[in-house]
Amino acid sequence: MITPSIHTTNWTFRVRTCYVGCDASILLEPIRDQQFTELDSAKNFGIRKRDLVGSIKTSLELECPKQVSCSDVIILAARDAVALTGGPLISVPLGRKDSLSTPSKHVADSELPPSTADVDTTLSLFANKGMTIEESVAIMGAHTIGVTHCNNVLSRFDNANATSENMDPRFQTFLRVACPEFSPTSQAAEATFVPNDQTSVIFDTAYYDDAIAGRGNLRIDSEIGADPRTRPFVEAFAADQDRFFNAFSSAFVKLSSYKVLTGNEGVIRSVCDKVD
């Protein structure tokens, strides 16, 4: 059965994959004597339902063997997750190839943003992927669906400057109640979560309303509504869903084209978690 959690998982999965490169490397099991892979990075916590991509791929192989890559399956699943939760149906280029290896945990650690990322870090990250500031603010709007695990929320409060961020004091109280003072690395923190916004199963502009009001789960979610470089776009998207959808679609295509393998650079795996 397709549920809202599957839609949001598809989106999270796809975004995390493309930070390192849109080549389905995150699906691979360790190769030979490799001990720690991309998936082992603590920053990939929350990646679930990899088997769903494998199930889709199995069905495709029965109908059209070795024609659709695992990389394209991830992108199409994420695109549909956005559309099925109320967002735009984005036209994405296809023809990606799959990688022959998976990066190490250390590569993923260096490429993925931390949960404590600020506006400078976020804008730099997306600029390296060819995005404008408007597109960077738009892609952050993906936080309008899904949840934030308490281990990431609690790490925010380790920051001595947390109280000086654009954060509604009442919302800070809510987060501290929802995520009690257990260790950010504890199983309890990893199992507990808060919704990303007021309508966390609908792809809409509520994220930007919350950002303006200082109701962001992560540091970037709060600061994006206050920083003079990003606030104009936050306000514009909050007021105009069509503008948000257009900018998001453009950013989606750019992110899904990052470090893509084509031609002889990669392969089309018949099974997503193994190299043929």
For the chain, which residues make up each domain, given as ranges?
A: 4-112+255-265, 119-253
Q: Annotation-wise, does 4 bind a ligand? A: no
Q: What is residue 94's predicted lDDT score, i.e. its pLDDT? A: 94
pLDDT value of residue 118: 92
For 50, the token pair is: 């990899």
Q: Does residue 65 sit in helix, strand or coil?
A: coil
The residue among 170, 256, 153, 242 whose CA lies nearest residue 205 is 242
E-only strand ranges, the chain: 147-149, 193-195
CATH number of this structure's domain 4-112+255-265:
1.10.520.10
Query: How many angstroms separate the most distant Cα atoms in the chain?
Result: 56
> Does the annotation flag 199 for ligand binding?
yes
- In 3D space, the residue among 276, 275, 235, 272 whose CA is nearest the CA of residue 27 turns out to be 272
Whether residue 12 is annotated as binding a ligand: the answer is: no
pLDDT per residue rounded down to tens, the chain (276 residues) = 344 444 444 445 455 567 777 888 888 877 666 666 666 655 555 565 567 888 899 999 999 999 999 999 989 988 998 999 999 999 999 999 999 887 666 666 667 777 888 999 999 999 999 999 999 999 999 999 888 888 888 777 765 545 446 888 899 889 888 887 655 556 665 678 888 888 988 999 999 999 999 999 999 999 999 999 999 999 999 999 999 999 999 999 999 998 899 999 999 999 988 887
> Is 209 a known ligand-binding residue?
no
* 270 annotated to bind ligand: no
Is 119-253 in CATH node 1.10.420.10? yes
Q: Is 113 annotated as a binding residue?
A: yes
SS3 label, residue 97: strand
Residue 21 marked as a ligand binder: yes
Is 86 marked as a binding-site residue? Answer: no
Could you tell me how far CA 270 lies from the centroid of its own chain? 25
Q: How many other CB atoms are found less than 10 A from the CB of residue 31?
A: 12
User: Is residue 228 marked as binding?
Assistant: no
Annotated binding-site residue? 204: yes
